[in-house]
Amino acid sequence: YDITNSIKTSLQQNDFYIVYQPIIDFKKNHIRKVEALIRWLHPKLGMIPPNDFIYLSEISGSILELTHFVYESVFKQMALWNQQGLKIQVDINVSPKVLMHQDFIKNLNYYIHKHQVDKGQVIIEVTESLILSSIDQAIMVLNQLRSEGYRIALDDFGSGYSSLTYLKHLPIDILKMDKAFIATIDKNELEKQFLKFVLDLAHAMHKEVVLEGVETISQETVLKPFNVDYVQGFLYYKPMKVEELTQILQEKY
Ligand code: G
Ligand code: G
Ligand code: MN
Ligand code: NA
């Protein structure tokens, strides 16, 4: 099966699109942040999960075209929102392979300038798997991104091992705690204490925290007395197309 060709054809036929999931300011209850997520609705195969095709596109070489599509779509949309007075920060997921590419920052800057978006509005989401490639090089790229004005989020925090070491050593601004952290906080006292402990630790390190995967009112109730910055989850919003999001932003900005 020729995945490269398939991706190219689908890019031409608009089978790829971006959905956005709101990230809610827990105390102010407004939305100034969203996460951009790519979707591939293949005309014959149906919805293909991003983790599958991103990996395949990396080994087959079409990741450059895909990345181009994501940046163009997202930054163009951010510029539109900016014109409407909706200054939104957007989280963009970046795979280790893309981040470690020697032209990564140069390319990113090109799209940012083209669409006149502030670098401070762009949050680069990386995962712990990045470190597996090369920790020193990863730290260098992240430092360079931050010195340019971009912000870095460590995604899926807590889903792997050695997480605390990464929290200590990686130059990041935002910690996105994996949904595993909150899955049973309303049923298990130890889990609740565990979450609070990591939350306090992150704040002591001056990181902003996003709690991912909030799905129930009962979980939200446990979170209320905690010092929570942001929440993201199906309880609030699922990832959605831009038209729907723009409406929600106009109400909840
Ligand atoms: O949206 P969904 O739950 O299907 O996302 C599954 C995974 O795909 C997530 O881990 C997410 O980080 C990843 N993903 C979604 N969009 C992108 C993208 O544009 N680039 C990269 N590298 N990963 C993405
Ligand atoms: O790995 P990453 O955090 O980038 O993945 C983001 C994906 O997580 C989104 O695409 C979305 O589909 C999924 N997600 C967001 N909120 C929830 C939630 O409350 N529950 C579950 N199970 N998945 C969620
Ligand atoms: Mn993410
Ligand atoms: Na995540």
Contacts of 243 (CB under 8 A, 6+ apart): none
Residue 231 exposure: Cα atoms within 13 Å on the Cβ side = 26
Q: To 10 degrees, what angle do helices 242-252 and 63-83 make?
A: 40
CA 157 vs CA 29, 70, 125, 209: distances in Å: 23, 23, 11, 10
Measured in Å, residue 21 CA sits from the centre of ligand 2 at 9
Measured in Å, residue 114 CA sits from the centre of ligand 2 at 30
- Ligand in closest contact with the CA of 71: 1
pLDDT number for residue 159 = 87
Partners of 123 in beta bridges: 91, 151
Rounded CA-CA distance 130/169 in Å is: 13
Write out the H or E segment, with its range, that includes residue 48. strand 46-48
Rounded CA-CA distance 80/238 in Å is: 22
Number of residues in the chain: 253
Rounded CA-CA distance 85/40 in Å is: 30
**Domains parsed from the chain with CATH numbers:** 3-252 (3.20.20.450)
Q: Render the burial of 235-247: b for 16+ CB within 10 Å, e for the rest.
A: bbbebbebeebbe
Measured in Å, residue 91 CA sits from the centre of ligand 4 at 11
Whole-structure pTM value: 0.97
pLDDT number for residue 243 = 98
DSSP string, 51-74: HHHHHHHHHHTTHHHHHHHHHHHH
Ligand 1: which residue has its CA nearest to atom 9?
51
Could you identify the atom of ligand 2 that is nearest to the CA of residue 234?
19
Which stretches in the chain have pLDDT values below 70? 162
37 in contact with ligand 2, CB cutoff 6 A: yes
Question: What would the pLDDT profile of 185-236 be if each residue is shown by its tens digit?
Answer: 999 999 999 999 999 999 999 999 999 999 999 999 999 999 999 999 999 9
